[in-house]
Chains A and B, each alone.
Chain A
Amino acid sequence: MKAFSVSKAVTALMLAGLVLLPLYSHLTGNIFILTLFTRIIILALAAASLNLIMGFGGMMSFGHAAYLGIGGYAVGMLAQEGVGSGFIQFPVALAASATYALVIGALSLRTRGVYFIMITLAFAQMAYYVASGLARYGGDDGLTVYKRSDFSGLINLGDRMQFYYLCLACLLGVIFLIWRIVNSRFGLVVQGLRSNEQRMQAIGFAAKRYQLVCFVISGTMCGLAGALLANNTDFVSPAVMYWTRSGDLMVMVILGGMGTLFGPIMGAVVFLLLEEFLSQITEYWALIMGPLLLLIVLFGRGGIMGALGRAGRG
């Protein structure tokens, strides 16, 4: 184990950049960059949660965006009904996501491989259509959140910089949690199940139970991202649950490097910045983005973290 490696250095630089960004934004008066990075951090949180089951647990969920919607709608619906307190909204968002994850996880984990990819997708599409049918809460058009979650006395989400740091703290907290989980006995069992489920079962581990708990933890984390996202955009609509959004999250995880702690953050930053950058030079940014993804899959095994690791060795 080397003390210094390229991937560690880049990760440290990125984290330092994320911590100092509001300072830069404050000094230059560039508010856009702060808003952009708030969104990036929230989606990085969602990608990190997906990475827990996908990278470490080997469970390829293609319906992870559903939790973004569930967390978001929990905030939006409560706000609509006059419950503005974040101390109620956020726990409800987390509990709702956990419950959804528990139910669909219990059903989906009966299948494996491509069937698992497709059944998680099917459940997410169901959630999408349920949200589209909620006429009281905007239906297809979505729901405007007129007032951000109220954490009076603690933090003011209306303030851009405070909100940014809240999101960053949530992200780092989740990464810390994932780090602890992955290195715990529980995490080792889950990773063992990814490598060889039969063998783990033969040693006497109740495979599905471990995977289900991991699935629920991941879903709850993503629900948090959803609650933050609704606060960030002041709006939640069924579109956040659409399957292409789940695809985006998968792309971020793979781009950054599956099964690495900081890969998903890297992936989210690069993916969303690329999207932003390309959309500024040309309206037809996807024309470049699409083949780029193809090339990354074909030649960039292990994502950015993998490439950095190779650079460190070479």
Chain B
Amino acid sequence: MLLVVEQFLNGLQFGLLLFLLAAGLTLVFGIMDLVNLAHGSLYMMGAYFAATFAAWTGSFLLGALMALGATLVLGIVLEMTALRHLYGRDHLDHVLATFGLILFFNEAVRLIWGPAGLALPLPAWLTVPVPILPGIHYPAYRLAIIAVALLVALLLYLGVMRTRIGMLIRAGASNREMIGALGINIKLLYTLVFGLGAALAGLAGLMQAPILTVQIGMGENILILAFVIIVIGGIGSIRGAFLAAIFVGMIDTLGRAFLPNLLRQVLSGAAASTAAPALSSMLIYLLMAIVLVVRPEGLFPANRR
């Protein structure tokens, strides 16, 4: 029981974290029609910035805030110098160019911070276990991640659905020429959206940093997961990204936790212990393949009405 609740919350927390990453990706994808493989690099930069600033200021919160601002600025600079020129080009060009950016960021990190990973220690008040149900404790930090991510998701939803900028973003997603013709500064809007996406990726990175080590290449695996999510959810759909992210987070976490035991009941012990890790890693890709085979445009295609 304890394990089930704990793993369930872990899955939720991982899913929400993935949502932060996927939301930026799907916004950029849906609005600028840009495939940004370097989104994972922004996630990595968020983590590195947080580790550096936290060590520098001595405060986790202050470091996190500064890192958030830094990734926002980095995203804006990146958009203005490089990615802006890719709009309207072939998707393949995007893949290639942002693949180059991944190489660049990984190497730049190695040059600046060195090949060894960094650690981002948590302040004491975030490490205490919190009782959530009678007899069941859960780390405060993971609860904090859940809370922050839910809050950001809510703000994002309200921002996109209820504000003027959100309206422009949605309008830009459905017809970019038209809102340009109506006198909206599209360039600025795109830069803003990209910066927002970068900040979300940075937030995911800096929140994940204390749980995992901050290291080179940390962005790549999770980037693929984020892509899986937006593809399952339907490209450009925030709602789809949210549901798919929770779904993928749950399946991945619960699969890793419980699949070995389940398999052991069917297979022999040795066979199960070799098959289980591979199978649980495959699970989400299997899910994506099934979704795409049944619904080739994802669960919530954004452009269909």
* B103: Cβ under 8 A from any A Cβ: yes
Smallest Cβ-Cβ distance to B94: which chain A residue: A297
Q: Once the chains bind, are A286 and B289 in contact (CB under 8 Å)?
A: no
Which residues in A have their C-beta under 8 angstroms from that of B282?
A: 125-126, 129-130
Which residues in B have their C-beta under 8 angstroms from that of A244?
A: 220
- How many residue pairs link A and B with beta carbons under 8 A? The number is 137
Task: Report the bound CA distance from A313 to B210 in whole Å.
Answer: 58
Q: Once the chains bind, are B96 and A293 in contact (CB under 8 Å)?
A: yes
Residues 105-122 of chain B, each 1 if its beta carbon lies under 8 Å from chain A, else 0? 111101100000000000
Nearest-CB distance from B279 to chain A (Å)?
7
Q: Is the interface of A mostly helix, strand, loop or mixed?
A: helix
Residues 236-276 of chain A, each 1 if its beta carbon lies under 8 Å from chain B, else 0? 00000001100100110010001000000000000000000
Nearest-CB distance from A90 to chain B (Å)?
26
Q: Once the chains bind, are A287 and B281 in contact (CB under 8 Å)?
A: no
Which residues in B have their C-beta under 8 angstroms from that of A139?
A: 274
Partner of A114, one of B35, B96, B103, B288: B35
Which residues in B have their C-beta under 8 angstroms from that of A287?
A: 103-104, 107-108, 111
Nearest-CB distance from A239 to chain B (Å)?
12
Which stretch, A104-112, A160-168, A220-228, touches the partner chain B?
A104-112
Residues 116-134 of chain A, each 1 if its beta carbon lies under 8 Å from chain B, else 0? 0111011101100110111
Task: Report the bound CA distance from A110 to B295 in whole Å.
Answer: 9
Q: Is the interface of B mostly helix, strand, loop or mixed?
A: helix
Task: Report the bound CA distance from A126 to B107 in whole Å.
Answer: 27
Which residues in A have their C-beta under 8 angstroms from that of B107?
A: 284-287, 290
Q: Once the chains bind, are B103 and A290 in contact (CB under 8 Å)?
A: yes
Q: Most chain-B Cβ atoms within 10 A of its Cβ — which of A54, A129, A296? A: A129
Q: Once the chains bind, are B102 and A290 in contact (CB under 8 Å)?
A: yes
Which residues in B have their C-beta under 8 angstroms from that of A129?
A: 278, 281-282, 285
Q: Once the chains bind, are A291 and B292 in contact (CB under 8 Å)?
A: no
Q: Given the interface contacts A62-B95, A122-B285, A297-B93, does A115 sit within 8 Å of B100 by beta carbon?
A: no
* B171: Cβ under 8 A from any A Cβ: no
Q: Once the chains bind, are A293 and B296 in contact (CB under 8 Å)?
A: no
Which residues in A have their C-beta under 8 angstroms from that of B297?
A: 111, 115
Smallest Cβ-Cβ distance to B100: which chain A residue: A293
Which residues in A have their C-beta under 8 angstroms from that of B91?
A: 60, 113-114, 117
Q: Once the chains bind, are A115 and B298 in contact (CB under 8 Å)?
A: yes
Nearest-CB distance from A132 to chain B (Å)?
6
* B227: Cβ under 8 A from any A Cβ: yes
Q: Once the chains bind, are A119 and B288 in contact (CB under 8 Å)?
A: yes
Residues 187-229 of chain B, each 1 if its beta carbon lies under 8 Å from chain A, else 0? 0000000000000000000000000000000001000100110
Which residues in B have their C-beta under 8 angstroms from that of A133?
A: 274-275, 277-279, 281
Nearest-CB distance from B275 to chain A (Å)?
6
Task: Report the bound CA distance from A80 to B102 in whole Å.
Answer: 37
Which residues in A have their C-beta under 8 angstroms from that of B104?
A: 286-287, 289-291, 294
Which residues in A have their C-beta under 8 angstroms from that of B101?
A: 290, 294
Task: Report the bound CA distance from A243 to B82 in whole Å.
Answer: 23
Partner of B85, one of A115, A132, A298: A298
Task: Report the bound CA distance from A134 to B271 in whole Å.
Answer: 10
* B2: Cβ under 8 A from any A Cβ: no
Q: Once the chains bind, are A107 and B289 in contact (CB under 8 Å)?
A: yes
Q: Given the interface contacts A118-B228, A130-B278, A133-B275, does A297 sit within 8 Å of B100 by beta carbon?
A: yes
Partner of B100, one of A62, A123, A290: A290
Nearest-CB distance from A130 to chain B (Å)?
6
Which residues in B have their C-beta under 8 angstroms from that of A292?
A: 100
Which residues in A have their C-beta under 8 angstroms from that of B279?
A: 133
* B158: Cβ under 8 A from any A Cβ: no
Smallest Cβ-Cβ distance to A289: which chain B residue: B103
* A177: Cβ under 8 A from any B Cβ: no
Task: Report the bound CA distance from A119 to B92 in whole Å.
Answer: 15
Task: Report the bound CA distance from A113 to B277 in whole Å.
Answer: 31
* B168: Cβ under 8 A from any A Cβ: no
Nearest-CB distance from A55 to chain B (Å)?
10
Which residues in B have their C-beta under 8 angstroms from that of A118?
A: 227-228, 231, 288, 292
Q: Most chain-B Cβ atoms within 10 A of its Cβ — which of A62, A136, A284, A294? A: A294
Q: Given the interface contacts A293-B96, A297-B93, does A286 sit within 8 Å of B298 by beta carbon?
A: no
Q: 6 new A-B pairs (CB below 8 Å) besides A122-B289, A250-B99?
A: A118-B288, A119-B292, A126-B282, A133-B274, A298-B85, A298-B86
Chain A contact residues, CB within 8 Å of chain B: 54, 60, 62, 107-108, 110-115, 117-119, 121-123, 125-126, 129-130, 132-136, 139, 243-244, 247, 250-251, 254, 258, 284-287, 289-294, 296-298
Q: Provide 14 A-B residue pairs closer than 8 Å at the C-beta atoms, listed in order of the A residue.
A: A62-B95, A114-B29, A117-B91, A118-B227, A119-B292, A122-B288, A130-B278, A132-B278, A132-B281, A134-B274, A139-B274, A284-B107, A296-B96, A297-B96
